[in-house]
Amino acid sequence: MKKLFAVGRNIGYSKETLEEVSSSLGMGNKLSLLSESQIQIILHSLKKGHPEAFRKPQERNKKRSIPKSQITFSIPSIDQKGMIQVLLSQVNKIAPYKISLESMAQKTFKIPSEKLSFHQYQSLIEALKSMKSRFERETNLSDSSQL
């Protein structure tokens, strides 16, 4: 019943006009007394006369997500590259082992350092900061325990 009125509204038919369509198809004047099959017959009849009322509205032009194969690399800033070098040298002075940008890129993102994006560089900077503070805490604890 709802669909019948919705289609009628799209076509521009009033309730009275829909009742006239119903009676012309031999189904009586009262829409409220129609069975589901009778409503379907009326809808089918309306569809023949007004196919545009049954077309689904076209989908909005949604932005498509970019497949990973087409991702263009965001370029890390000069500041980020400089910060990485400073942090690497600071961490390597206090760390018990040597760390390189290439090894971090491979272990973290499994890609060469030349292909790191802006956000991946930022992640490595944050990782180096936390490593630096952890190594500093460890060296401070070992220095204080030797006293």
Reported as a single tens digit per residue, the pLDDT across 22-67 is 888 887 778 777 888 888 888 888 888 787 777 766 666 666 665 5
Q: How far is CA 47 from CA 26, 40, 51, in A?
A: 18, 10, 5
Residue 74 carries which DSSP code? P
pLDDT of residue 37: 86
pLDDT of residue 103: 94
The pTM of the whole model exceeds 0.75 = no
Contact (CB, 8 A) for 79 and 86:
no
pLDDT of residue 133: 94
Give domain limits for the chain: 2-54, 74-146
What's the token pair of residue 126?
A: 């944050």
The answer on pLDDT for 81 being more than 80 is yes
CB count in 10 Å sphere of residue 54 = 14
pLDDT of residue 119: 92
The answer on pLDDT for 110 being more than 80 is yes
Give residue 51's identity as a one-letter amino acid code: P
pLDDT single digits (tens) 116-147: 899 999 999 999 999 999 999 988 877 776 65
